[in-house]
Structure 1
Amino acid sequence: MSERFGGRYSPDGSRRDHRNAEVQQTLPEPRIRHRLAGRPKWVTIASSPFLALAFFQSPTGMFTDLAAFGLIASGMWMTREGLVAEAAYEVRRVAKRPAIPRKLFGGVLAALGLGIGVAEPGVLTDGVLVGVAGMILHVLSFGTDPMRDKGATGVDDFQQDRAHRMIQEAEDLLDQMRDAILRAGDLQLERRVDRFAATVEGLFDRVRDNPGDLSGARRYMGIYLMGARDATVKFASLYGRTRDASVRASYETFLDDLEKDFKAKSRKLLDSDRSDLDIEISVLRDRLMREGVQPETEPKALVSDQAQTLDDLLSYDVTKEKTR
């Protein structure tokens, strides 16, 4: 689709620049990407000679080379998934360790592929040694999977599992919204949906931090998101055919209102958590006072008729004031 040329000194240029600046400020941050996410691809490319030379050997050699390449490629795919899970684990304050140690399984598959690829018929020693070396290099290159929960002290496992399942279903609805808006063929609308998704993910983070808030957020993460998904599907289908500006304006207003509701719910959950904390502190303070533990009082400020300036205050003798 063509786009009208414009700039700072063009008609309506200042207003357009202002709108673009607002859109840029409200764009969601890019998703977290692991710093080692590109390495598995290069390892897979480095193992491509197994695939290229497999068809120039005997049937046994062809089978072993194809198996070696397949195992290494599968191991690198599993390792990449492990890096994605680790990046999500690191960015969250409360997270459970991955249920499947993907990087460990990826290292084992890659080691088996290397061992099979270099092993000679009837001689397994070389293949075993190369496989062990490959496993060690895999651990040194990609690290290990997170092996413990983070920030889960005092959190009910049952509530956390329920919250995790609900968040996963809600994230699937958001992905379906992003996929549906692509049919509209409008980049600005795609960014608008991404901004809405970023607001919703803020609510997800609130529920992850305190799974007890799930009951209050269930309607937003279920019914409201499902309705937003359905509305996006219908809008993308209609707008893709008609390019009706009124339909677009109505959809953007709908997203604005829904986004305000999600922000208000996140603030309400935060205020509720703060109120619960104040109650806990008040109850604990009352118990300490009943047991005879008095809170420390703030020291009284120094008051003197002689200390009129900073130099007078520094040279003032406190002992004289006490004996007065």
Structure 2
Amino acid sequence: MRDLRRHQRPSDAPVFDSGLNVMFLAAFPLVLWIFQGSLSGVATALLEMGLFSVALRLISRGQELQRAYDLAQVATAPKLPRKVIGSALIGIVVFILAGHHFPTLVAPSFVGLVATGLSLTAFGVDPLADKGADNPELLNRIAAEHAWDQADDSLSQITDRIAHLDDADLTLKADATRAMVMGLMRSFGTDPRDLARISKLVTKFTEILRAETDRLERSWHEDNYLFARKRFILKLDVLSESFETHAREGSQRSGRDAFDLEADLLLDRMPRESAA
């Protein structure tokens, strides 16, 4: 589930909640009570304002988590029911206020329960169950999207480095290679076994391409940069062809993957081919 956290991250954008703002204004008479009441009345008003502030803050945070939960494809239910607790605190505030006007606790208790119920009706209860965690198809799709994003980021970093060399043809070729790799990767869909195999091929391809880019950059401002450029293009062609072949065939060998072995053989063979 670690890879799925980004699918349940709450939005950082502020959201105007008119209901909470109206409830905040409803506490204004408590401020007047501080200046007009007795010492015990002032203490009660401060307690009421404190409870009411905590209640509104809990409900506000609960609303944020609710919006994130509704937008997410996969999400876990909040461990702390903030909206329920906030509504209960509002009921307690109303109970205390009503207790000053009735000789018994029956009426204040009823009014407090009504206030809690109205708050829950207005803002709802917190999500009670995890969302999407029991849907294998959805989880596989999200895992595949995460793998695609990681691969695309890694390849984009390499193509950006090549673009900084200010060679239009080389940049175009690198971008085309990245598009080919990502197109093949996405064509395998979301099956976990296919995804694991193609991800292994992409990882090895990226490692070799990154090493070759390091080598090209070191030679770019030297006298033999044309030879380094030709070597890089040749190796990129061979690597791309080898990757596409093994990705489409889907063949595997015991122990080391076929593409892994061929890539290492290519590394040993390239210096001799370049020298020739």
Tell me which interval the TM-score lies in, with the shorter structure as reference length.
Answer: 0.3 to 0.5
> What is the TM-score when the length of structure 2 is the normalising length?
0.47
> What is the TM-score when the length of structure 1 is the normalising length?
0.40
